[in-house]
Each structure stands twice: as C-alpha cells, then as structure tokens.
Amino acid sequence: MTCPLPYYLCHAAIALGIAAVLWPILGLKAGLVAGVAFYVGREFTQWEAGLPFDWKGLAAPFIVCGFFLLMGGIHE
C-alpha cells in the first residue's frame, strides 16, 4: 500500500491511528505516546541495520502527537 502524502505525513497519520486504536483502552496520553514510541523503535532498528537516520520520519509523529497531547492537556 502506498500513501499519497509525503512519507513523513504518513508516519504522523499512522501514529495517530495507533493512538486512536489504543485511546479507548489506555487513554489519550498513553495512545499518543505509543504511536510515537512505535516510530522511535522503527527508526532505531532501521538505523541499527545500517540505513541513515530519518529525522523527518521521526519528527512528524512527535510534532503531531505532541500537539494533540498539548490540546488534550488544555481541555482536562
């Protein structure tokens, strides 16, 4: 499956998807953290395998999930 958006935006969308699935079970904060942690682990294992470190692919989920964490904290 190919994402029609730039790859780093797809990373952010997948992180939000992980958060949406886990939100009812673990809560908003834990779901968002899990979405980001998925990409931290993914980038680390790819870096260990010899691929160059992908800052954009890691920064996009951090920024988007961080935004939702901040907005969630404002409304609590």
> Which tens digit of pLDDT belongs to each residue from 30-70?
999 999 999 899 889 989 999 998 888 889 999 999 998 88
pLDDT at 37: 94
- Please enumerate in sequence order all residues whose Cβ is within 8 A of that of 30, keeping only pairs 6 or more positions apart, or say none: 22
Residue closest to 65 by CA, chosen among 4, 18, 2, 5: 18
Question: Tell me: the pLDDT tens digits for 15-33?
Answer: 999 999 999 999 888 999 9
pTM given for the model: 0.83
Cα 57 from Cα 45, distance rounded (Å): 13
- Please enumerate in sequence order all residues whose Cβ is within 8 A of that of 2, keeping only pairs 6 or more positions apart, or say none: none
